[in-house]
Structures are given as structure tokens and as C-alpha cells.
Amino acid sequence: MAGKYNICLDIGGTKVLGAVFDSNDNIVCRYKKKSTESGSSSQNVQEVIISVVEELLATSGLKKSQINAISAGAPGVIDSGSGIILFTPNLPFRNYDIRTPLEEKFGVPFYIGNDVNVGVLGEYRYGAAKGYQNVVGFFVGTGMGGGLILNGSLFTGTGFKAAEYGHMILDPEGPLCGCGQRGCLEAFSSKQGISSYIRQQVSRGRKSDMAEHVKEGVFRSKYLKKALANHDKVTEEAMDRACHYLAVAAGNLINTISPDVVVFGGGVVEATGNLIRDKVLAEIDRYCMTSIRPTVELKTAALGDDSNIYGSLAMIRDAEAEKKNSKSTKKAAAVKADAKAADRTTAVKSASKKTGEKSTAKKAAAKSGAKKTATKAASGKTTSKASGK
């Protein structure tokens, strides 16, 4: 909508990042706020989301009437059709309708989807996967997220649960994953998996720059980057292990889907640049069919932390396009219906005219026949009189 602005959000486990896009899809304002505190409820998080939107409006100097739509990506299983967050692992949402309060508060449409699905959509529409039709996306963060574009459309599967690549089991006897299974990709290649490996090695007496940073949980990406720059042996081993299993997983998906491109994104990828892509490239040929591998590219995500907010923008644009197509389809159907009605009217008039013409012809024929009969009868009388004389 010309002259209108879109507000796009990245709702994370610890923060809400927001951006205002102008009508040319340029970011004109940003704002970030912590999303949760100890004891937070769904209502608390909702209030944080609303406050971020309000702050974006205040900072940018915009009025509600200038907003076209609001959109967001959030972790977990999300029913994009109804706007209900069915489940989130790091936020207090369970079967929670987030759309209604946002639409009532700001008076504009609100769209929401799974954060990694939305992030891959952002890379597909505006980033590293732009111009491709079939895209596999791995987002390496605290967990391991996935997204899938098939024939130019985001694929979410039954119940909006597709592309859970992080729970592809690569070793049934492997480390325990947070999902309860063993040997998942997430247990090897996410921050959780990398941190777990480093802790294990430190517990065996090995030294590592990351020892303190993984002691209480997962590391912050900036510390990983520093340890790798210092050639910390344990950290390098953890990354080699993570990339090995990413290569196996990517190879399986390449053989299954035959995508145009595989994109690697997320916090760990952002911190390490092309490291993960290059390490995966170095061994992925071992896990791909030779007939498929040459047609697939491997890329590092181009949008970084912005992939989610750009994906949120793409959801708005897709909804607008769908609405426009729906109107066009309805208009075309109405025109077609009018044409059919006109044809029926013309046919009825034509049939009526023909019926009238037939009726007139019949009357004329009947009149002519009666006249002939009368003439014949008169002729007979005349002849009879003549004969009598």
C-alpha cells in the first residue's frame, strides 16, 4: 500500500527485535527489548511485544493510521493461518492466540510464523537464496532450526511442523538431545551440542578458552569467534564435529529434495562467517549422489540477524499478493457470470423471437388456408348455380 509502513518483529527467547519498513521495503527504524524475565507469563511477553511496536511508532514519528500491517517470526510450532502459537520451547506460550490482541490494539492485520521458516523465507525473498525455487535452510543457534522452500513457496507440512532438521537422527547411539531422542543433528551441531562437547573434554582435564563460557550452559557466539581466532584446540574439534554432522544432514536432504541451494544461517554462522559453509563443502560430496550434487549450491545466509524481520516482511507481501489475486479471481468470476447471464438473456430473447415468428407464420398459414377454403367453397357454389340453369 503506497505511503504506508510495515512493522516486522523477531520474537526470540530473550529479546524482541523490531524494525519499521517503508513502502520501498527499506528499514527506517529499529528497536530491541528484552522479552522475558524470571516468572514471565504469556501476558507479560505479549505486553513486551506491544511495547516494542509502540516504541517503534514513537521513535519513527508514525501514527497508527500510517501502518499497513505487523508481522513476526517466533520460535516453536505456530499455526500461521489462525495466528495461534501452539507451543514454544523458550517462551510461555501454549495454544495462545497472539493475533487477536495485536490486531485489536493496532487496528491492522497481524501475521506470524515459525522463526526459522520465516528466516529462510527472508533469505529466499531478499537474501542469499533470492532467485532460486527450491531452498533448504539450516539455522545454527542455541538449537538447530530448518526451513524449506519448494517450487517458490514456503513448505510447512501438516500442522505447520515441517523442516525440523535438528531432530534428524544421525546416530541412534549418540548424545541425548533435548527432544528426548539420541543422536539428533541438534545434539551434535547446535550451540547446545558444541557446548556439551567442550564441557565433556574439559571434564577430562583438557584446557580450553571456552571452559568458563560453557560452564553454566551454552556459550555466547562472540566467545566462540574469539576462541577459534586463538586456535583453541578443543573448540576447533567441537566445530569440526558439528560441521561433519551438518554435512551428513545436508547430504541426506540434497539426495531427498534435490534443492537449488542450501543456506546456512543463525547466530553461530553469523559469528564465524563462511567457516561452516566451507567445512561442509569440504566433505559433503561423500554424502551426495554424484548425479545430484553438481546442481546444488551451498551458501552462507546474507541477511544475518535481519533474516527474520525480512521474512516477516515477505509474509506481509505474500498476504497482500494473495488478497490481490483473490480479488482478481472474484472479479474475473463475476465478469464471467455476467457474460453467461447476458448470453442466457440473449438466448431467451432469440428463442422468444423465433417462437413469435413461428406463431405468426402459423397464423398467417391458417388465415391463408381459410381464405383458400372460402374461395374454393365460393367457386363451388357458383359452379352449382351455373349447372342449375
Over the stretch 6-31, which tens digit does the pLDDT of each residue have? 999 999 878 899 999 999 999 999 99
The three cell numbers locating residue 312: 516477516
Q: How many domains does the chain have?
A: 2
pLDDT confidence tier of residue 36, bands split at 50, 70 and 90: low
CA-based max dimension of the chain: 156
**Which pLDDT value is given to residue 197?**
97
Whole-number pLDDT of residue 53? 97
Res 364: pLDDT? 63
- Residue 121 belongs to what H/E stretch? helix 115-126
Name the grid cell of 148: 524449506
Q: How many CA atoms lie within 13 A of 180 on its CB side?
A: 0
| Angle formed at CA 119 by CA 115 and CA 125, multiple of 5 degrees | 145
- The model's confidence at residue 334, banded by pLDDT at 50, 70 and 90, is low
The bridge status of strand 135-140 relative to strand 144-150 is antiparallel
Asked, for residue 230, whether it belongs to a domain, the answer is yes
Range of lowest pLDDT (72-86, 230-244, 315-329, 338-352): 338-352
Instruction: Answer with the residue of higher pLDDT: 175 or 338.
Output: 175
Contact between 92 and 74 (Cβ < 8 Å): no
**The pLDDT of residue 325:** 81
Residues 185-212 have a mean pLDDT of 97
| Cα gap 97→49, rounded to integer Å | 14
333 pLDDT above the threshold of 70: no
Q: How far apart are CA 344 and CA 293, in angstroms?
A: 59
326-364 exposure pattern, b = at least 16 Cβ within 10 A, e = fewer: eeeeeeeeeeeeeeeeeeeeeeeeeeeeeeeeeeeeeee
Q: For residue 231, what pLDDT is reported?
A: 97
Q: Looking at the structure, do residues 182 and 263 belong to the same domain, yes or no?
A: yes
How far is CA 152 from each of CA 209, 282, 324, rounded to the nearest angstrom? Answer: 44, 28, 18
Does a structural domain hold residue 38? yes
Take residue 133 and report the three cell numbers written for it: 525455487
Nearest to 121 by CA among 150, 142, 99, 144: 150
383 vs 234, 375, 377, 380, 389, CA distance in Å?
137, 12, 10, 5, 10
90 and 133 together in one domain:
no
In a shared domain, residues 182 and 291:
yes
User: Is residue 333, in this structure, part of any structural domain at all?
Assistant: no
Residue 170: pLDDT over 90: yes
pLDDT, one tens digit per residue, over 249-279 is 999 999 999 999 999 999 999 999 999 999 9
Which range among 206-220, 238-252, 314-328 shows the weakest confidence by mean pLDDT? Answer: 314-328
pLDDT band at residue 43 under the 50/70/90 scheme: confident
* CA-wise closest residue to 83 among 92, 93, 91: 93
Q: What is the DSSP letter of 224?
A: H
How far is C-alpha 256 from the chain's CA centre?
21
pLDDT at residue 331, rounded to an integer: 65
Cα-Cα end-to-end distance for the chain: 106
187 & 80 share domain: no
Q: Domain check: are 158 and 292 in the same one?
A: yes
Residue 39's contacts (CB-CB under 8 Å, 6 or more residues apart) are: none
pLDDT at 14: 80
Identify the pLDDT of residue 88: 84
Of the pLDDT bands very low, low, confident and very high (cuts 50, 70, 90), residue 42 is confident
**Domain final position from 311, 332, 363:** 311
Same domain, 69 and 212: no
Express as a percent the part of the chain with pLDDT over 70: 83
Mean pLDDT for the stretch of residues 196-206: 97
Residues 66 and 94 in one domain: yes
Give the chain's mean pLDDT: 89
- Cell triple for 374: 372460402
Cα within 13 Å of Cα(116), Cβ side: 31
pLDDT for residue 383 = 46
- Amino acid letter, 343: D
**What is the CATH number for 95?**
3.30.420.40
Check: pTM over 0.75? Answer yes or no: yes
pLDDT digits (tens, 9 = 90+) for 51-97: 999 999 999 999 999 999 999 999 999 999 999 999 887 788 899 99
- The parent domain of residue 22 ranges over 5-108
- Residues 228 and 250: their CA atoms lie apart, in Å, by 23
Of 223 and 90, the one with more pLDDT: 223
Q: Among the three residues 290, 311, 332, which one is the final residue of a domain in this structure?
A: 311
Distances (CA, A) of 147 to 46, 155, 158, 192, 378: 25, 8, 14, 20, 101
Residue 29 has a pLDDT of: 96
Using one digit for the tens of pLDDT, what is the confidence trace for 108-129? 999 999 999 999 999 999 999 9
Is residue 320 domain-resident?
no
Please indicate, yes or no, if residue 363 is contained in any of the structural domains. no
The strand order across the sheet containing 261-265 reads 153-154, 144-150, 135-140, 261-265, 297-300
Among candidate residues 272, 289, 311, the one where a domain is terminated: 311
